[in-house]
Structure 1
Amino acid sequence: MSSPLTLDRREGPYGEVVLRRRAEHFEIIANGTFLMDTSDGRSERLLIDAAQAALPAESRSGTSVLVGGLGVGFSLAHAAADPRWARIAVAEREDAIIEWHRQGPLAAISGAALADPRTVILHTDLMDYLRTSPDTYDALCLDIDNGPDWTVTEDNESLYSAEGLAACAARLNPGGVLAVWSARPSADFEESLRNAGFSGVRTEEIPVARGVPDAVHLAVRP
């Protein structure tokens, strides 16, 4: 593999975040840990599609979605390409990542989605927003870390706790869908979802070239 070229490095309130380019692909590194890259967006797109498919058939148009984590922009771009989403909000706490999408190299992925009138960027910590906002959505599509069993920052662990899942449920309309991306399937997290009162708990897996598959955990607010 080619050596990565560092394009930007920022030190912020949540630690260091770095944008690198490796050949034609971009990588985001958070606190020294690989977070995501642009080499394969299947699981990020599945996050959106699986949530849409899990909604009641009569409720799949004119729906709203909160994307947790802007990342490299695959989930946002895929949501904006689907006219059934009437409102698309993206919660992102890192200044640098927002700038890389608005004015930097990642605009090639997300530019059209950011210009879409249905889209709004919420410059906020996802957990703070979930706990305090009165807004509700038909789907929450959350991808802020490597998953419940492997978090990059300790702050993100709270999303997968009983308190975090209760906050997610409070932001969902009845029958709404919670979709959570993970770098590996987690049976323990499935159990946590059931204990939090969600129904229809299941996991969709995406095979990868090496190692365990990526996963999208799905659950429905009754």
Structure 2
Amino acid sequence: MLDRRTGPAGEVVLRRHGALLQIIVNGCFLMDTSDGRSERLLVRAALDELDRGAAPAAPRLLIGGLGVGFSLDEAAAQPRWGAITVVEREPAIIDWHRRGPLVEVSGRALADPRTRLVEADLLDHLRAPAPGAAERYDALCLDIDNGPHWTVTEGNGGLYSPAGLAACAARLNPGGVLAVWSAQPSPAFEDALRHSGYRGVRAEEIPVVRGVPDVVHLAVRPA
């Protein structure tokens, strides 16, 4: 165990297991540095989806959840993104990236002048009054908890509710892309996206060693 702290969601632990770094929340394994393919796909797929339409020259990206930093690292490696905002509510996770062992994943990305790191609950950030178009985004890439139907932290399910999906749509520019990471496929969540007014709803899967595949759900706010 490298560090243990109490944060907004309870106990947060950073643990090293061999070469891997692991984040544990309230005794439940959340993520580690073993792979990262699906977290990177989250960002790549959002940009690809933007390019299917009339993507702006320098699209603005919001990443919900810093995690171990794979999604942020992927975004910073792509010069197309004009601005990258990361919203993370756990001070401990932010500190592990800025001054702790996770700097090995995200150090380069956090030093990128396009990157802005916001310490806040994602839903609170989305619901805050937007002063203008500068506070809207062309893509929202959400990696909160284990996805729509397997949350380990109380309150995270609200992000995937009709009200949460409406808050996401309100912060997207017309034609903007919502990309949501999930630890398992969810036809019910795809239906919820359609019922919330999104179009082009689909999913991309990443096979895992054991069990069901990781999934990135994609949807577009109508122009």
User: TM-score scaled to structure 2, two decimals?
Assistant: 0.95
Q: 2:22·2:31 contact (CA, 8 Å) conserved in 1?
A: yes
Q: Separation in 1 of the partners of 2:7 and 2:33?
A: 23
Deviations 1:13-52 (A, max 9, x none): 2111110111001000111111110000100000000000
Identity within the alignment, %: 67
The reply to whether residue 108 of structure 1 matches residue 108 of structure 2 is no
Match of 1:14 in 2: 9
Letter in 2 for 1:82: Q
Q: Separation in 2 of the partners of 1:60 and 1:212?
A: 35
Q: 1:52·1:60 contact (CA, 8 Å) conserved in 2?
A: no
**Which residue, out of 47, 52, 75, partners 2:42?**
47
Letter in 1 for 2:167: A
Structure 2 gaps, min length 5: none
Q: Separation in 2 of the partners of 1:108 and 1:133?
A: 35
Q: Separation in 1 of the partners of 2:8 and 2:69?
A: 22
Deviations 1:136-178 (A, max 9, x none): 1000000011011100112100001000000000010000000
Match of 1:146 in 2: 146
Letter in 2 for 1:81: A
Q: 1:147·1:181 contact (CA, 8 Å) conserved in 2?
A: yes
Letter in 1 for 2:201: V
**Which residue, out of 36, 45, 56, partners 2:31?**
36
Q: Separation in 1 of the partners of 2:161 and 2:172?
A: 17
Q: 2:8·2:89 contact (CA, 8 Å) conserved in 1?
A: no
How many residues matched? 217
Letter in 2 for 1:125: D
User: Taking structure 1 as reference, are residues 194 and 18 closer, same or farther at Cα in structure 2, changes over 3 Å only?
Assistant: same
Residues 129-168 of structure 1: matches in 2 within 5 Å? 129-134=125-130, 135-168=135-168
Q: 2:181·2:215 contact (CA, 8 Å) conserved in 1?
A: yes
What is the Cα deviation at residue 11 of structure 1? 1.0
Q: Separation in 2 of the partners of 1:90 and 1:79?
A: 10
Q: 1:56·1:175 contact (CA, 8 Å) conserved in 2?
A: no
Structure 1 gaps, min length 5: 1-5
Report SS of the residue matched to 2:209: coil
Q: Separation in 2 of the partners of 1:13 and 1:173?
A: 30
Letter in 2 for 1:138: D
Letter in 1 for 2:128: T
Letter in 2 for 1:16: E
- Mean CA deviation greater in 75-84 or 29-38: 29-38
Residues 1-222 of structure 1: matches in 2 within 5 Å? 6-57=1-52, 58-59=54-55, 61-134=57-130, 135-222=135-222
Deviations 1:97-147 (A, max 9, x none): 000000000001100100100000011100100111412100000001101
Q: Separation in 1 of the partners of 2:6 and 2:118?
A: 20
Q: Supply the RMSD in Å over aligned alpha carbons.
A: 0.9
Deviations 1:67-105 (A, max 9, x none): 000000000000000000010000000000000000000
